Amino acid sequence: MADHDYKRRQFLQYAAFGTIAAALPGFVLAEGGQINSAPSAAFKPDVEMEITARIAEVPIMPGAHTSVFKYYGKLLKGPKTALKPMPGYLGPILNLAQGQKVRIFFYNQLPEPSVMHWHGMHVPQKMDGHPMYAIQRGERYVYEFEVKNPAGTNWYHSHTHEMTATQVYRGLAGLITITDEQEQKLGLPSGEYDIPITIQDRRFTAGNQLLYIHGMRERMLGFLGDTILVNGQANSAIPVKTRAYRLRVLNGSNSRIYKLGWEDGTPLIAIGTDGGLLEKPETYPYIMLAPAERVELWVDFSGRKLGTDLVLRSLEHHGTMPHMGGGMRRGRGGMRRGMGGMDMMTGGLPQGEAFPIVKFHIAKKVGDSPKLPETLVRMRSLTEQDVSNPDQPVPIAISMQHMAPQLNGRSFEMNEVMDSERIPVNTVQKIRISNDHGAMGGGMGGMRGGGMGGMGMMMSMAHPIHLHGQQFKILSRTMKDQDSGDGYAIVKDGFIGSGWKDTVLVMPGEEVEIIKPFEDYTGLFLYHCHNLEHEDMGMMRNFYVG
């Protein structure tokens, strides 16, 4: 019954968009929009589970419980370790292995539509959580996919049309770990020595309820909370032993960008990025982590004194926030103060402010520790030689004109693609992402003299650009703005350029070229800003792979 209604509803929805029939092949029209509510008999799952999204009251802060949206999991088939429940609002950790066939029955028991997306995973269109597949309360969606990704850390979250920010904020997110044979041979810290660190910022009312502010400032810049949660808990302190650990760090925040650093200046050792392990460990003074990005850290507490703490912090930075182009640039210092003032007006923790994230407490001495491997995994090599469009990169041009964050001058349409968004399947494409505030000059003109005050400058800020489907490699990062100031200088050494990525932070005035395979699956795949307020405002588009 639900099925039939859905087809009809979806069809009407499609019919309403006059351009679609012309724009897309019949495939999308005929099959694309159907809700997948029944399991396929041909699909033989190795892991099968139910995930139900519902309202829950959970302990987060001392005192009253907090009303949240939470994913609850129930394992139906597969290894017991495949599902690990988490405290607070976070969904269970899904521990998967490359090659596994996974079936997930998603039940929506929320009072609003919802859909699940497996961020970072290479899955078919119908399994990818496109907002066109949102289901209503009481309905079910069946996800079936094979785990193609290599070992690493991905995550899942809601991707509901214009509701992603609020639904993720209220709790609809969880971690996914993937293991494979290459990784297992490395003997990396595992079990209790493999720790998830999901970082999110929230605001709470005096009664411990989640507060989401959606004023002009939050709409344009993104929501910032004043309370940092790690794994859904405030004031996180993790007891550790004097040995090495693997930390899987996810920035699950709506818009906050972290500049990760150890409090005592110890360099960070990265062993993995969004798409999996690196070829070899890399050392960084600090690491930038924008919304949706992951980094896997190796940290060795050997030799640390019992009873001491090592704090992972976010360090001061400022270049990610609005910054004026052209003749207005001279006033930049003043603008920074201006932005700070706006934050103070709303009583928040400004973007770029320094604060502690999580404290590791050296609680126990142990005799030995695994050693950091010199090399990690062999990656598929992908170079400029492999791309089919070396001279005509696919553009992703960021703009924030007229108070609307857009990509390639367009806002999101459920199933619309432009010519530049059509990608031949089984090709590797060069993509050029530009955050060029120079081009904004004209658009800004009208605002300069306007009464918007501080809002007029919000033409250029850093955007974490995420592409669905396969992971990409970064080819180059170029600062096009000769006068970018020290805002770029104090973040640029924290970008990891070597690993597989699905999200890249593009700074104001920066151009980032990437190469990305579009293999195996045809259909609509999203690309968008992972500042969730921007995404919901339409800073999202489709690629049609076919």
Which residues contribute to the site for Cu ion (CB under 5 A)? 119, 463, 468, 529, 531, 534
Mention every residue, 6+ apart, whose C-beta is less than 8 A from residue 225.
Answer: 200, 201, 202, 203, 253, 256, 348, 349
Q: Choose among ligand C2O, Cu ion, none what residue 292 binds, the Cβ cut-off being 5 to 8 Å by kind.
A: ligand C2O
What whole-number distance in Å separates Cα of residue 398 and Cα of residue 282? 30
Confirm or reject binding of residue 358 to ligand C2O (CB under 6 A).
no
Q: Choose among ligand C2O, Cu ion, none what residue 259 binds, the Cβ cut-off being 5 to 8 Å by kind.
A: none
Closest CA to 90 of 211, 14, 175: 175
DSSP readout, 225-255? -SEEEETTEES-EEEEESSEEEEEEEE--SS
Cβ closest to ligand C2O, residue 102 vs residue 526:
526
Cβ 117 to ligand C2O shortest distance, Å:
5
Q: Contacting ligand C2O (CB under 6 A), which of 292, 297, 474, 505?
A: 292
Q: Contacting ligand C2O (CB under 6 A), which of 304, 317, 336, 466?
A: 466
Query: 157 to 186, contacts with ligand C2O by CB under 6 A?
Result: 157, 159
Confirm or reject binding of residue 528 to ligand C2O (CB under 6 A).
yes
In the block, residue with structure tokens 């906050």 = 256
Cβ 286 to ligand C2O shortest distance, Å:
24
* Amino acid at the residue 29: L
Helix (H) or strand (E) holding 345: helix 332-345
Confirm or reject binding of residue 317 to ligand C2O (CB under 6 A).
no
Q: Contacting ligand C2O (CB under 6 A), which of 170, 317, 468, 541?
A: 468
Give the SS3 label for residue 338: helix
Strand 294-300, strand 268-273: pairing: antiparallel
Confirm or reject binding of residue 119 to ligand C2O (CB under 6 A).
yes
Q: Which stretch binds ligand C2O (CB under 6 A): 4-12, 194-202, 206-214, 524-532?
A: 524-532
Cβ 291 to ligand C2O shortest distance, Å:
8
Strand 244-251, strand 194-202: pairing: parallel
Cβ closest to ligand C2O, residue 168 vs residue 400:
168
Q: Which stretch binds ligand C2O (CB under 6 A): 134-142, 199-207, 350-358, 525-533?
A: 525-533
Cβ closest to ligand C2O, residue 332 vs residue 528:
528
Residue 312 β-bridge partners: 262, 358
In the block, residue with structure tokens 């270049």 = 319
Inter-residue long-range contacts of 349-353, CB under 8 Å, 24+ positions, other chains counted: 349/201, 349/224, 349/225, 349/226, 349/228, 350/224, 351/221, 351/224, 351/255, 351/256, 351/257, 351/320, 351/321, 352/257, 352/259, 352/316, 352/317, 352/318, 352/320, 352/321, 353/314, 353/316
Cβ closest to ligand C2O, residue 7 vs residue 161:
161
What whole-number distance in Å separates Cα of residue 173 and Cα of residue 244? 28
- The residue at minimum Cβ distance from ligand C2O is 119
Q: Choose among ligand C2O, Cu ion, none what residue 463 binds, the Cβ cut-off being 5 to 8 Å by kind.
A: Cu ion
Q: Which stretch binds ligand C2O (CB under 6 A): 90-98, 183-191, 393-401, 526-534?
A: 526-534
Cβ 531 to Cu ion shortest distance, Å:
4
Q: Choose among ligand C2O, Cu ion, none what residue 534 binds, the Cβ cut-off being 5 to 8 Å by kind.
A: Cu ion
* Residues lying near ligand C2O in the complex (CB under 6 A): 117, 119, 157, 159, 292, 466, 468, 526, 528, 530
